[in-house]
Amino acid sequence: EPFDLKELIHEVIEELEQKAAKRDVLIRFFYDKEKIYKTIADKDKIFRVCQNLISNAIKYNNDGGEVEVHLKTHKNHILVEVKDNGKGIPPEDLKRIFERFYRVEKSRSREGGGTGLGLAIVKHILEGHKSKISVSSTLGKGSIFSFELPWEKAPKKEEIKTSI
Number of other residues whose CB lies within 10 A of the CB of residue 33: 5
Query: Which region, judged by CB under 5 A, interacts with Mg ion, from 68-76, 117-125, 127-135, 138-146?
Result: 117-125
Residue number, 68 or 152, with CB nearest to ligand ATP? 68
Q: Assess 54 for contact with ligand ATP (CB under 6 A).
A: no
Instruction: Please select the residue that binds ligand ATP; options are 19, 26, 62, 109, rule is CB under 6 A.
Output: 109
Number of other residues whose CB lies within 10 A of the CB of residue 118: 20
* Residue 53 Cβ vs ligand ATP, minimum distance, rounded to whole Å: 8
Q: Assess 144 for contact with ligand ATP (CB under 6 A).
A: no
Q: 132 with 97: CB under 8 angstroms?
A: no
Instruction: Give the burial string for 78-91 (b: 16+ CB within 10 Å, else e).
Output: bebbbbbbbbbbee
- Taking CB atoms, the residue at the shortest distance from Mg ion is 118
